Amino acid sequence: MEEIRAAKYADPKDDHSKANDEKIMSIYLESMNDNGGSWPENFIEDRDVFNKNPSEVFDSENPFFVFVYSITEPDGCDSGCWRIIGHDKLIKYEDTGKILGFKKILKFLGKTKARGYKRTWVMEQFRLPSKWNPKQDHVVCKIQLMFQTEIGFLLSKHFSYSSDPLPATQSLPAYGVCLANPQDDGAYHLQLIFDSGGNEWPTYVTNDVYSVHPSTLVDREDKRFRESGLCIFANRTEACGYTDGCESGRWRIMEEDNAIYSMSHEVMGYKRVFKFYEEDKDKYFDTVDGEEVLRTWIMEEYRLVEEAMKDKVLCVIKRRR
């Protein structure tokens, strides 16, 4: 007797970006295939998504879900191509062990290789088994920008039996904030350090943020970076901002420690502000409204008041006129 599957429908109130593999397969892909159900609002259809540069198609702020029908072999585009980094993994119902389908992971390889602190476009591709999709010609793709260490965590999970989404403690908020009251920005960033669990940095940490040109750490085309800056956890040394630097310039302290206070007027931590001084001042212009504008790199450094945490800092790199 042919197996009968119960119809399931997506709740429009769900946060689709946090759905685990089982839910994506059973609620989104399976229901669309079986019942012709409508996609959630943030799902789009694009049969040619494999041959496009995701940076030109998607907003970097949130994950996107793309329904692809009928699927073709990815050919890539002038600026790069998708390549498999995690081959098919069997997705099953956790409770019953029933097979739901398969998942593979792809990464968009651009012409320039991203550093560990820059993000890369990643695609999680879901498809039903041949019993329910004989031609294997339609899939759901979850596409998002991820840091290299987040990709590593995703792959380690892919090669295990877990289908849960990325834990919140492993996902560093990638951007700074611009709150209505600027004085609240400091408390927000100190809270990020506190929530990270002290010495257990949540996603990635670098020792060279003070000794490389900031353009190697960020994507200047990233809209949210331009608005709010990029957060980078770092291990600070006594030389930071004094004797270190790189061939193209060096960070110098503009503002020494400024105390950040809690609501009860106790000192929570400190903030220092750095400016990057270019060796070649004519090299780093941006074009704004058809005019070349010299931009300045600014870095805000936050640390907690505890002595044991003085060298564990959160740096927010910004680019200003």
Tens of pLDDT, residues 109-142:
887 665 556 678 999 999 888 776 666 667 888 9
Among 12-16, 71-75, 87-91, 250-254, the minimum mean pLDDT is found in 12-16
Residue 12: pLDDT band (50, 70, 90) is very low
* 169-217 pLDDT, tens digit each: 444 556 777 776 777 888 888 887 777 655 455 445 666 788 888 888 8
Percent of the chain exceeding pLDDT 90 equals: 15
Q: Per the structure block, which two tokens stand in for 44? A: 């789009």
Q: What is the pTM of this model?
A: 0.63
Q: Which of 256, 314, 252 is nearest to 278 (CA)?
A: 252
CB-based contact 90:69 (threshold 8 Å)? no
- 179-186: long-range pairs with CB below 8 Å, 24+: 186/260, 186/268, 186/269, 186/271, 186/302
pLDDT at 39: 57
pLDDT at 104: 93
Alpha helices in 196-292 (DSSP H): 223-228
CA distances from 169 to 3, 155, 193, 248 (A): 40, 17, 11, 35
Q: Supply φ then ψ for residue 183, to 5 degrees.
A: -65, -20
Among 25-34, 104-113, 153-162, 242-251, the minimum mean pLDDT is found in 25-34
Mean pLDDT of 42-58: 80
Mean pLDDT of 26-50: 66
Among 174-178, 242-246, 283-287, the minimum mean pLDDT is found in 283-287
Residue 314: pLDDT band (50, 70, 90) is confident
> What is the rounded distance in angstroms from the CA atom of residue 228 to the CA atom of residue 55?
19
Tell whether the model's pLDDT for residue 21 goes beyond 80: yes
Buried b (16+ CB within 10 A) or exposed e, 269-307: bbbbbbbbebeeeeebeeeeeeeeeebebbbbbbbbeee
Alpha helices in 61-147 (DSSP H): none
pLDDT at 9: 42
- DSSP letter at 39 equals P
User: Which of 19-28, 29-38, 255-264, 304-313 tops mean pLDDT?
Assistant: 255-264
Q: Per the structure block, which two tokens stand in for 54? A: 């995701």
